[in-house]
């Protein structure tokens, strides 16, 4: 295994975790979490709506607080950590990217579906112009064969990405599948390779360690598992595991434990655990942020949320198609009513 002083952690609770609390972060919460992460020497802290810059909408979920206020607040107290933002082309624009950079964001993570890297060149290039470190984020990585993943990673590298991520948005991948993908990227591109996991099948830690063993040097985690679905690789646990393995991250374990217990736990609306809905996300290969949307639709139509998620998986619905959740729920309800009548 590579010497791990090269591994850098990105904390995603203030972005991915936005899904888990219906995008209700306050400025004070972001300040408290960022201060503690900065004090614990976490290299990067991602802050934005769960669906990235400009994600606040009826379709994706309305934010309690304008994300630019949250980014500015985080940047104001991060003198060691760098603030990162996520942008999905088609949701966020160059305008929001520039505003975030002006407010202190130092890293731009440009996220596309695993087969759609070709929508990202102007965003990656503009982030570089703004002086930001730039990441290509290939979401739903299980939905393309390895050869296609490599092709798309090469595109992002050619656009100027400093790092390309394999993103297991559904928490669907098994460790061997992660190994295969990370190994292929390491052999095919010359920039950093990263990995972002979800814990819907209780494999986030195993998959993250598999990615590291294959050479991934940029790793995401969410403190207290605060992320979409069943959350991400739990940051404080990952730091402890890596220290047990003799791998130094530079992150203070005790401070991460205290942050998780004293600051983040009270923010959670309910404990991050593998529920029947999050388990179904991983089993069916469905985008992790769909869990709450499916639960609401199930309640509205008096059906089982698992049936919605399984059908979404069959239809290979991806991020950005949240409007399909209600359509699918209505179809299932109509079929149910027809059977009963």
pLDDT for the residue 291: 84
Q: What is the rounded average pLDDT of the residues 179-185?
A: 98
Q: Is the pLDDT of residue 256 over 70?
A: yes
Tell me which of 19, 49, 113, 293 is the catalytic residue.
19
The band of 1, judged by pLDDT with boundaries at 50, 70 and 90, is very low
Considering only 56-65, 169-178, 249-258, which range has the smallest mean pLDDT?
56-65
Q: What is d(CA 311, CA 181) in angstroms, rounded to the nearest whole number? A: 26
> What is the percent of the chain with per-residue pLDDT over 90, rounded to a whole number?
88
Whole-number mean pLDDT of the chain?
95
Contact 272, 224 (CB under 8 A): yes
pLDDT for the residue 2: 42
- Cα angle at 307 between 225 and 267, to 5 degrees? 25
Would you say 287 is a known binding-site residue? yes
Q: Which are the contacts of 164, defined by CB distance < 8 A and separation ≥ 6?
A: 135, 136, 138, 153, 156, 157, 185, 189, 191, 192, 193, 194
Q: Is the pLDDT of residue 34 over 60?
A: yes
> What is the percent of the chain with per-residue pLDDT over 70, rounded to a whole number?
98
Contact 168, 200 (CB under 8 A): no
User: Quick one: 69 exposed, middle or buried, by C-beta within 10 A (0-12, 13-18, 19+)?
Assistant: middle
pLDDT tens-digit map of 218-229: 999 999 999 999
Which residue ranges form the domains of the chain, and what is each CATH number? 4-267 (3.20.20.70), 289-340 (1.10.8.60)
The band of 23, judged by pLDDT with boundaries at 50, 70 and 90, is very high
Would you say 16 is a known binding-site residue? yes
Would you say 169 is a known binding-site residue? yes
Is residue 142 among the annotated active site residues? no
Q: What separation in angstroms does the CA of 91 have from each of 65, 123, 245? A: 18, 12, 40
pLDDT top residue among 294 and 136: 136
Would you say 198 is a known binding-site residue? yes
Q: What is the rounded average pLDDT of the residues 9-35?
A: 97
Q: Is the pLDDT of residue 35 over 90?
A: yes
pLDDT for the residue 66: 96
């Amino acid at each position: 295994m590579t010497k791990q002083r090269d591994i850098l952690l990105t904390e995603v609770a203030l972005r991915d975790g936005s899904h888990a609390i219906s995008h209700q972060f306050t400025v004070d919460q972001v300040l408290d979490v960022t201060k503690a992460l900065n004090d614990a020497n976490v290299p990067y802290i991602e802050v934005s709506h769960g669906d990235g810059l400009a994600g606040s909408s009826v379709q994706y979920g309305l934010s309690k607080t304008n994300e630019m206020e949250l980014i500015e607040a985080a940047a104001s107290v991060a003198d060691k950590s760098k603030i990162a933002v996520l942008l999905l082309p088609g949701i966020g624009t160059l305008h929001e990217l520039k505003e975030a950079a002006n407010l202190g964001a130092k890293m731009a993570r440009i996220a596309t579906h695993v087969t759609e890297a070709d929508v990202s060149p102007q965003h990656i290039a503009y982030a570089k112009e703004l002086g930001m470190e730039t990441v290509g984020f290939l979401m739903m990585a299980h939905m393309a064969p390895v050869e296609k993943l490599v092709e798309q990673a090469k595109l992002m590298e050619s656009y100027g990405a400093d790092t390309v991520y394999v993103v297991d948005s559904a928490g669907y991948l098994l460790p061997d599948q992660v190994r295969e993908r990370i190994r292929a990227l390491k052999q095919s591109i010359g920039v950093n390779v990263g990995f972002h996991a979800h814990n819907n099948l209780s494999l986030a830690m195993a998959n993250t360690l598999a990615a590291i063993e294959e050479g991934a040097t940029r790793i995401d985690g969410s403190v207290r598992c605060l992320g979409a679905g069943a959350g991400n690789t739990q940051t404080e646990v990952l730091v402890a595991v890596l220290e047990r393995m003799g791998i130094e991250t530079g992150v203070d374990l005790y401070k991460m434990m205290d942050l998780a217990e004293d600051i983040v736990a009270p923010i959670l609306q309910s404990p991050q655990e593998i529920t029947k809905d999050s388990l179904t996300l991983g089993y069916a290969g469905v985008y992790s942020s769909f869990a709450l949307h499916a639960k609401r639709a199930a309640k509205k139509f008096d059906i089982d949320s698992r049936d919605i998620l399984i059908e979404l998986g069959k239809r290979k619905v991806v991020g950005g198609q949240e409007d399909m959740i209600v359509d699918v729920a209505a179809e299932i309800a109509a079929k149910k009513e027809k059977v009963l009548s």
